[in-house]
Homo-oligomer: A and B are copies of this chain.
Amino acid sequence: MLELVVQTERRTQLVDLTERVRDAVAGTDAGALTLFVPHATAGILLQASGPGARHVAADLEAALDGLVGESANWRHLEEGDRNPWAHVRAALTASSVTVPIDGGELPLGEHQTIFLCEFDGPRSRRLLLALHR
């Protein structure tokens, strides 16, 4: 099983892993790739970046933080856990995404970008890759 390791730098941060994922599957004859995040305060989103979409990651970070605020009446806080809202934010993203592979390539859309989504950083995070026939 392939694995990518990422060091995040901010509490909420979308990290672009598209090139590392493309490199990891280049030339495979598999038919699909599953990306899996083995964490409960991180997730995965396929969203946009690049020309015409430079601020999408920042907008997503702010929007997900805003949807799940820190002033709610969290039960998890009673245990002294420092960041219960991170679990809810992560729950709004995905734990896995499966992408078809076509001739050894990922058929991503024009600006489509693979983001690991950190909600309790900075931390070391893992992204597991599984190829399917």
Q: Interface residues, chain A, CB within 8 Å of chain B?
A: 1, 31-32, 34, 36, 38-41, 45-48, 52-56, 58-60, 62-64, 66-68, 72-76, 78-79, 81, 84, 87-88, 90-102, 107-109, 111-113, 128-133
Which residues of the partner chain B approach A79 to less than 8 Å between Cβ atoms? 52-55
Query: If the complex has contacts A46-B95, A76-B53, are A34 and B100 also in contact, measured as CB distance less than 8 A?
Result: yes
CB contacts (< 8 Å) of A53 on chain B: these are: 40, 76, 79, 81, 87
Inter-chain contacts of A48 with B (CB < 8 A): 40-41, 87
> In this complex, what residue of B is CB-closest to A92?
B92
* A55/B84 contact (C-beta < 8 A), A95-B97, A108-B38, A128-B107 known: yes
Q: How far is the CA of A132 from the CA of B87 in the complex (A)?
A: 29
A38 touches B92 (CB 8 A): no
A41 nearest CB neighbor, chain B only: B48
For the complex, give the distance between the alpha carbons of A98 and B92 in Å: 16
Residues in chain B near residue A36, CB distance under 8 A: 98-100, 107
